[in-house]
Amino acid sequence: MELGSADAFDQMGTLGVEEEFFVVDEQGRPTAGTDTLVYDATPPAKLDGKLDHELFKSIIETQTPTCDSLAETREQVREVRAALVDHAERHGYQIAAAGLHPLAEWRDLDHASKPRYRAQLDRIQYPQHRNTTAGLHVHVGVDDADKATWIANEIRWALPVMLALSANSPFWNGFDTGLASARAKIFENLPNTGMPTAFDDFETYADFERTMVETESISDRGELWYDVRPHSGHGTVEVRTPDGQSDPERVLAFVEYTEALVTDLAARYEDGESGYRHRREPLDENKWRAMRHGHDAELLDRELEHAVSLGELVDREAERLGVTGIRELYDSESGASRQRRLHETGLDALCDALLL
């Protein structure tokens, strides 16, 4: 039984990034390639121990090493991506990134044979069979388990802001869903996903984690797929909200914002602030607005009293935290809008635009 521990939370401010990508063929269409890239070929040293596949044989995951600064994270994200692209090209593949690949037809794609995924498919059935999603996960180290749990509670309000800024998956199975992030809606059809509730302390979270494993609701703690969680193995607050991105600078904007949020909330915890302890329901409303409208969303403010444009909230957050990346994201064309614009040009242009 794989369970974490409060002892894992022993470092403050470390950073790590996990990215999920699509393995595509020379036309940019999803194809089964992870058996070759993960198992049959020796990956470059940069990817040693940092490369894995996901549920489908067309989705691959990378992890950066643990980093001590934003500057180091920027370097590692770029180096890991370059190593993956080179590795794929040597074996006849390309790599693409988005929350969903617009031409990924889940009925026609092969599932991985890894026992963990086979067990999930058997247990979850239809929602997992169609889960062709790819996301971005950001880890920030926290040096106390209760502090990490409190931060995870409080950071929930910012998650729809991140989702709206990252929304990069309007198409699913070749169909325009009308959503800016269809990935978010498809993924939250799985159990133990979406906006989590608030936990009183780490012991409460650990008890929940233990109960879920002991009752065979999940196979291991990694199957608690909420939008944020205190990661009881890595000792981090893990944010799992954004859609996948082809541009590394967009990824790094989310890393910058997440680090700034965790740093600010850690200081507030240490000062004894009680926090907002928002109910989950209005946060779910914000998440829906984000996935539906993306950059055009109006979200409930931090007091959950007024609907405010995403642009205004981004300005407030950028000023409050002293970050620049999220403002640059908002000022640029959104991923969803870009995909729709390119789709009018043709599928080849759309697929090419998703390549790393």
Instruction: Give the C-alpha distances (Å, rounded to integers) separating 79 from 75, 173, 287, 288, 344.
Output: 6, 31, 32, 34, 33
How confident is residue 96, by pLDDT bands cut at 50, 70 and 90?
very high
Identify the CA nearest to 105 among candidates 24, 55, 180, 30: 30
**Looking at residue 308, what is its pLDDT?**
98
Bridge partners (DSSP) of residue 193 are 225
Work out the pLDDT band at 160, boundaries 50, 70, 90.
very high
The tokens for 351 are 């697929």
- Alpha-carbon distances, residue 170 vs 12, 29, 183, 210, 251 (angstroms): 36, 17, 8, 36, 19
CA dist., res. 178 & res. 196, Å (int): 25
User: Where are the domains positioned within the chain?
Assistant: 6-353
Confidence at residue 314, expressed as pLDDT on a 0 to 100 scale: 98
More confident residue, 237 or 2: 237
Q: Residues with Cβ < 8 Å from 115, sequence gap 6 or more?
A: none
pLDDT given for residue 1 in this prediction: 57
How confident is the model over 101-117, as a mean pLDDT? 82
Instruction: Judge: domain 6-353, CATH 3.10.20.30.
Output: no
Instruction: Tell me: pLDDT of 12 over 80.
Output: yes
Cite the beta strand spans of 180-255 per DSSP E: 193-194, 225-226, 228-231, 236-239
> Nearest to residue 304, comparing CAs of 276, 330, 327?
276
How many whole angstroms separate alpha carbon 35 and alpha carbon 56?
Answer: 10
